[in-house]
Structure 1
Amino acid sequence: ADGAAPARLLGGADLDLAVARGAAYYGYVRRGRGVRIRGGTACAYYVGIESSMPAIPGMEPPLEALCVAPFGMEEGSEAALPAQEFGLVVGEPVRFRFFGSSVRRQDEVGTLLDFWQPDELQELEEIEATLPTEGRRPGEVVRVKLHARVTETGTLELEALPVDGSARWKVQFDVRGTAEA
Structure 2
Amino acid sequence: MLTIRTNITELATTTLNIGIEQFFENRFSILLPVSYNPWTFEDNKKIKHLAIQPEFRVWFGETFRGSFINVQSFVGLQLHYLYYNAGGINIPFGMFPDPKYTRYEGHGAGGGLTYANQFGLGGRWRGEIGTTLVFSYLWYDSYDCRTCGAFKGSDTRRYLGPGKSSLSIVYLSAAYALY
TM-score (norm 1): 0.32
Larger Rg: 1
Structure number with the higher strand fraction is 2
